[in-house]
Amino acid sequence: MEYTQVPGGVCAAKGFSAAGVYCGIRKNHTKSDLALIQAEVRCAAAGVFTTNKVCGAPVKVDRAHLADGYAQAIIINSGNANTCAANGVALANECCGLVAEALHLSAEDVLPASTGVIGQPMTIEPFARGIPAAAKALNSTCAGSTAAAEAIMTTDTQKKEYAVEFVLGGKRCTLGAIGKGSGMIAPNMATMLEFYTTDVAITPALLHEALAAVVPDTYNQLSVDLDTSTNDTLILMASGLAGNPPITEENEDYHVFLAALLHIAAHMCALHASDGEGASHLITCEVAHAPDKKIARAVAKSVVCSNLFKAAVFGRDANWGRILCAIGYTPGDFSIDHVCVRLASAAGEVYVCENAAYHPYSEDEAATVLAEHDILVKVDMGAGESAAKAWGCDLTYDYVKINGDYRT
């Protein structure tokens, strides 16, 4: 499969425009806090959400509004999570009503999302000001996507946008995304907020199926700090304007779309981990030759989740014993006797552990490998044919600083 990276993020696919404005939810005027994404047509839509029993009011509204498999707009604020507030659901519904009014569509086709502090009071006023302004600012070029990507950022240091073109059913199709989230990520449904748009024609049922198929190998394998947010949301809208023969069954076109979705989701996961709160390294763990897929995923996740190994990467210390330790406490019935570990980066590769024991290597060489930003941990379990990846980042002083000072 070939993917051509294209600009435009969430506006790259045909039929979508977006905007980002400042509406006053944040005290700081210099950072926008309200994003709007609109589709020209009613779209097939699917979502996956937090598994936290404490869940944001917008998540509850999204689940209801997605029940029919369609949506046409997404309204997102940063600065307040709209979670644990008595009036939360009413407020989220009111926001949908304001969007419906501004864009002349049904309130049931609007999906709200919020990110920020939990349990803070929230009022409709900023939305009443901001939604009409965002509707006026809607823009179908790169600028629209970028404005939206910036408006949803909280502790992110980089906006997260990505889009690719690919051929499906003889047509050039596009799939793009924006996302936010660099902390409170994992263990399941990592991203706080993630919005995908595509012009592929596909039924709501298959759109949901594709999304559900991709998440276990991507977002559920992403961790910054093991904390699952109350507001995790991934929404995927398909306008169908690419002109491909609509996908109505699990045919070849479906698998082309699935592969594109997996490609973009893996890329977004790396963006999130790389921008993990305070991170100075992206840590990717690739597990090969695992006895089954579940164990492969769990082992990869264990490695990128180990605070001790994360701190070692921050210190550029090839402390492979901590990798082995993290593999060893992974739940599941498997042997560690044939586990081999290599550390790799653009600067080279060092073979540090063979059959669960020390493999001679140069500490200087290892330090050179670990001086790079992107670190790859290659785990060969020598016990089967399954593979998986996980994405994480190092644990740094800045993580502690960011999360010790968040509200002040």
Could you give the residue numbers annotated as active site?
A: 191
- Structure-block tokens of residue 246: 């609509």
Task: For the CB of residue 300, give the shortest distance to its own copies in the complex, in Å.
Answer: 16
Cα–Cα distance measured from residue 333 to residue 301, given in angstroms and rounded to the nearest whole number: 16
Task: For the CB of residue 340, give the shortest distance to its own copies in the complex, in Å.
Answer: 12
Query: Which residue, 129 or 316, has its beta carbon nearer to its own copies?
Result: 316
Query: Which residue, 164 or 192, has its beta carbon nearer to its own copies?
Result: 192
How many residues would you count in the chain? 408
- Contact predicate 234/48, CB 8 Å: yes
Residue ranges in contact with its own copies by CB under 8 A: 51-55, 81, 83-86, 117-121, 183-184, 187, 225-230, 305-308, 311-312, 314-315, 317, 319-322, 324-330, 334-336, 353, 356-358, 395-397, 399-408
Nearest alpha carbon to residue 111 among 145, 155, 79, 64: 64
Task: For the CB of residue 42, give the shortest distance to its own copies in the complex, in Å.
Answer: 33
Query: Which residue, 165 or 277, has its beta carbon nearer to its own copies?
Result: 277
Task: For the CB of residue 194, give the shortest distance to its own copies in the complex, in Å.
Answer: 18
Task: For the CB of residue 320, give the shortest distance to its own copies in the complex, in Å.
Answer: 7
Count other C-beta atoms under 10 Å from residue 267's C-beta.
17
Query: Which residue, 178 or 234, has its beta carbon nearer to its own copies?
Result: 234
Task: For the CB of residue 324, give the shortest distance to its own copies in the complex, in Å.
Answer: 5
Query: Which residue, 73 or 381, has its beta carbon nearer to its own copies?
Result: 381
Query: Which residue, 5 or 307, has its beta carbon nearer to its own copies?
Result: 307
Cα–Cα distance measured from residue 341 to residue 388, given in angstroms and rounded to the nearest whole number: 15
Cα–Cα distance measured from residue 182 to residue 159, given in angstroms and rounded to the nearest whole number: 11
Query: Which residue, 119 or 348, has its beta carbon nearer to its own copies?
Result: 119
Cα–Cα distance measured from residue 317 to residue 311, given in angstroms and rounded to the nearest whole number: 9
Task: For the CB of residue 25, give the shortest distance to its own copies in the complex, in Å.
Answer: 16
Q: What backbone phi and psi angles, to 5 degrees, belong to 150?
A: -75, -40
Integer CA distances (angstroms), 383 to 6, 286, 293, 354, 396, in order: 40, 15, 12, 14, 34
